[in-house]
Amino acid sequence: MSGVSSITGRMRLMKILMAPKKKIKPQQREAEKKTRWNILRGDLVQVIRRGHDEFGKQGTVLNVNRKADRVTIQGVNLGKMFLKGDPQQGIKGSTIMKERSMHYSNVNLVDPVTGLPTRVYRKYLEDGGKVRVSKRSGAIIPRPEILSVRKRPVSQHVGDKDTADSDAWEVTYQG
């Protein structure tokens, strides 16, 4: 009996070892290497890739997907999306136009002074703050206001298992 169980165990091990490995796409490998991001949600950007259908268009960044190295821009790179209908509820299927993501390298930030695409470098101010600076005009590119607002708001629900503020701030150690 022990010989049969060792064979099945060996077969399981071989199945695990011989399973095809998940291949990581080169774009994802490059995205993992990045540590600094110049384009943030809420920035004004322009499509700079000449071969792209939307070349020269400007828009605000709606979403930055850092794992895939892609950005979604408002009103740019629209594609058809099919919504499935529900005949029981009387809802017909429809087609809508929705923004699709595009690669990070196909867009550049727009210079606040000239209104043209520019590259960016970072600089420390005298007060110690780090800012993005336009290479085209030397103007400081401010952080978008939308970043101060959380995308998913913090839950304000207080349940019976939550600690009350008075109990949390009570001094219990005398030393």
pLDDT of residue 91: 86
Does the pTM exceed 0.75?
A: no
pLDDT of residue 20: 81
pLDDT of residue 3: 63
- Residue carrying structure tokens 């080169």: 26
pLDDT of residue 47: 96
pLDDT of residue 155: 78
Q: What backbone torsions phi and psi does residue 19 show, to the nearest 5 degrees?
A: -65, 145
Q: In what order do the strands lie in the sheet with 58-65?
A: 101-103, 70-73, 58-65, 44-47, 107-110, 117-118
- CA gap 47, 55 in Å, rounded: 5
pLDDT of residue 33: 87
pLDDT digit string (tens) for the chain, length 175 residues: 566 667 888 888 888 888 887 788 888 888 888 888 899 999 999 999 998 899 999 999 999 999 888 999 999 999 999 999 888 888 889 999 999 999 999 999 999 999 999 999 999 999 999 999 999 999 999 999 988 887 788 877 778 888 888 888 888 888 7
Q: Which two tokens stand for residue 123?
A: 């600089």
| Residues in CB range of 71: below 8 A, 6 or more apart | 39, 45, 61, 63, 64, 65, 101, 102, 104, 107
- CA gap 135, 18 in Å, rounded: 51
Which residues face 58 on adjacent strands? 46
Nearest-CA neighbor of 137 among 166, 117, 157? 117
